[in-house]
Structure formats: C-alpha cells, structure tokens
Structure 1
Amino acid sequence: MPRTPNEYIIHILMESGHREEVRFPTIQEFQKWYSGELVPKAASHDFISVPIKNIQGEYMVVRPSRIVALRVEPVFSSSVERYQ
C-alpha cells in the first residue's frame, strides 16, 4: 500500500541564489497556490504573497520573475526531521 505524505516542503530557489522553504499540508493546496498565484504572474516584477501557514504572524513576498526553480519534497511521518 502506498504511503501518503504528511506534508510537502516547497523549496524556492531565487535568481540571487537565496533559498526559501515553505510547507503545504497537501499537494492540492500547493497546486492551488502555484496555478492560481504564481503561474499567472510568472513574468511579473510585482510582489506576490507566499503562504506560510505554519508560522503565525510571519509572511513572505517574492517577485515571481526572480524564481528560477521550485523543488517539491514530500515528508512522511516516518521521515527523519532535519529542520528542527
């Protein structure tokens, strides 16, 4: 039986070399943000909001035109937690 990830870590790699990480509870929530917010404004130099749901009171904005890559990493409850 295939395992189901507990969450997805999205690694955002910027043109400047900076890397950011955000977490989504489901792949569908990531796809909704990606297709509804990021893709339509991909060439834009205006800031868009990146949802950070696991850190209350904190937010992040990015310029979509400066994102060069996204890496989607599924995290399973049996995975070793590397980010604490």
Structure 2
Amino acid sequence: MSRQAQDDLRWVYYSTADTWGINQAEKYISLMKESFEILRDFPGIGSATILGENVLVYLFKVGGSRWSHGHKVFYRIHRDYDLFSESSTQGSS
C-alpha cells in the first residue's frame, strides 16, 4: 500500500475513533481491509469512472441493515505493482 494510502487510512481511523469511538474505528478499518483484500484478489471487480484513465471504483457496505451506507474506494490497477504488498517492483507511489 502506498505511503499516501497508509496516511489516509490512519486519518480515517483517528477521525472515526474521535467521532464514533475506538470500537467503531476498529470495525470500520477491519471492513476496509477486507475490501482491500477483495480488490487484491479480484482487481477487475470495480467499475470504470470518469476520473481518469484506468481509475476504478469499488463500493463496500458498512453495517448489515437496510439503512446501511456504502463507501467508495477509488483505485488503479498496476500490472507490475502490487498495491497491497510491501515488496513491489516499483516502490511506493
């Protein structure tokens, strides 16, 4: 995962903990990481966007009720770079 993505995830954790508490932040980050694993295993699962070349979006739901809401993860597929691995061929981006 890129340094920027790690920083963003850290910000999401602290922001969620500040607003909803540490337990909710832990659950939320866990759901996000599960989504990242799905994207790692099935990178083509996302939908195309108008945000740029090769930018995809993946929607994941938070909560299990009909009032649950979704969040969007925007990402790019890099053929020679594993976004979720510490050992990439290009380094952090």
TM-score (norm 1): 0.30
Relative contact order: is structure 1 or structure 2 higher (C-alpha 8 Å, sep ≥ 6)?
1
User: Which is greater in Rg?
Assistant: 2
Give the number of the structure whose residues are more often helix, by fraction. 2
